[in-house]
Amino acid sequence: MTRIAVPIFVRDSAEVAAALGKAQRAAADGARLIEWRVDGLPNESAEGIQPAIDLIKESPLPCILTRRTVDEGGECTENDIQRGVFFSAIAHCGFLPKFFDFELASFQKHESSWRSVLNIDEHEVSLILSCHDFDGRPADLIQRVEAMTNEPACDVIKLVWMARSLRDNLEAFDLLSERRKPMIALCMGRFGLMSRVLAPKFGGLVTYACLEAGEASAPGQPTVEELQDLYRFDRIGAATKVYGVIGWPVEHSLGPRIHNAGFEAVEHDGVYLPLPIPPEYEHFKATVGSFVDHERLNFRGASVTIPHKENLLRFVKERGGTVDPLAERIGAANTLVVEDDGTLACMNTDAPAAIDALCKGMEIQRAELDGRRVAVLGAGGVARAVVAALCDAGASVTIFNRTKDRAETLAAQQKAATVGRAGIDVGDVDALSQGSAGRFQIYINCTSLGMAGGPGADQSPLPDNAPLDEDTTVFDTVYTPGRTPLIRHAEARGARTIFGLEMFLAQAAMQFEHWTGKAGPMDVFRGVVMEHR
């Protein structure tokens, strides 16, 4: 069973009581190990050694004792001889931790001395030999694994490096799967969360989590609450199916919260993760392809958001998968399904969800959209879905986009697909920004402006003098935050507003059914969103 370890820093004797209190909280939250980080304790017996002994003696959970050097991400500035004095005192105090964590590089320099200092030959305490690289994957990673595997004194191998992409996690999983000794293999940074959450799927001995946000001992470390409550860590096993939300950025997404809660509600053995992939198609293709092809990952699907919806369609076509006719017509997909036999399918749930949300918010039937003048802001994947759905409903659509060529391409595609059904035009962005583009009954924002964590988070796609009033409906497909700058502006002008959350929940429920074969539990989804907005 993979254990969650919580690192707690203690820098002087006055912090011991508070640190033990944190350890109690960590145990209550579901941690199974405490890592006492004593990097900053002084080396004198009265001021440094005794606090460390007290921490070991009073620890509410089995513990790891670590005095990490600066060059491997710690705070200890001592040389190895000085650290040897510290560890020697601990090793002979009568109260031993479950593990000492010691750097491979330092151990190799002073092997015989460290064997004596740590009582390794008597096996009174287990030794974690570790290596940390904050710049990226070590070029000699495999050689380090072999060195630790072949070292009799090493009880646990620990490898931690800064991930360059999501694909680094797959190498960590392969190392765990092929281990010959107990192993910890984790990736740091924004790309490394997957290695921490899925450690139990691949048999990792330990994963590390902080007690509170902001107290992480390494970049990208989640909290214990996130591991246990959000990702259902204790339920992850070898057969767990892996899903996620692919985008750039993606950290703002509520997808992990609603889908993991949904899996819990219907007892589906799956876990859903944020999967940040840079915008270029090459990154998407390489990453998603490696996930689909990985023998042990059991990657079964994903929600795909900005800017990858067109990339998903291209990827599935290139892999010989099935493209839903609506997604083909739209030219973008937002849902990936990986079947049991590894074949791929993609579809677009944005289009039906957009119409559902719009009609519900306006309290009208779909047929009543016929002939209504609608301004669609943007020409990306979301806009493609919204325009297609509106045209099917007979609305008169004008597309506004900073890159006019993209708007014209989208308009031409939809004109060809909906001959005789609706009017489609391309508007002048400058006129829109000056408030002189004319009046529309409905405005729909399909850009990322106003999205928390994205560029332009404090911006609205409509100018202050846009003609909004009580006869106008403003629908923002951005759902985080709930009240975007556009929604606040529209509310101040008296317009009817529709939050992106409604579309988000509707399309998520459709995705959930594609993956699990069960209806999306909307009450659960909505409750989770209300709790975490």
3-state secondary structure 451-485: CCCCCCCCCCCCCCCCCCCCCCEEEECCCCCCCCH
Task: Check if the beta carbon of residue 478 is closer than 8 Å to that of residue 488.
Answer: no
Q: Which two tokens stand for residue 62?
A: 């089995």
Measured CA to CA, the distance from residue 271 to residue 152 in angstroms comes to 37
Region for 262 from its dihedrals, namely left if φ exceeds 0, alpha if ψ lies in -120 to 50, beta otherwise: alpha
Candidates 357, 393, 348, 360; CA nearest to 374 is: 393
Q: Taking the chain, what is the end-to-end CA distance rounded to the nearest angstrom?
A: 33
Q: Give, for 1, the enclosing helix (H) or strand (E).
A: none
Q: What is the CA radius of gyration of the chain?
A: 27
Dihedral (C-alpha) 448, 449, 455, 458: value to the nearest 10 degrees? -150
Measured CA to CA, the distance from residue 219 to residue 135 in angstroms comes to 12
| Residue 241 bears catalytic tag | no
Task: Check if the beta carbon of residue 472 is closer than 8 Å to that of residue 441.
Answer: yes
Task: Check if the beta carbon of residue 380 is closer than 8 Å to that of residue 309.
Answer: yes
Q: Give me the catalytic one of 98, 181, 309, 360.
A: 309
Catalytic residues, which ones? Answer: 309
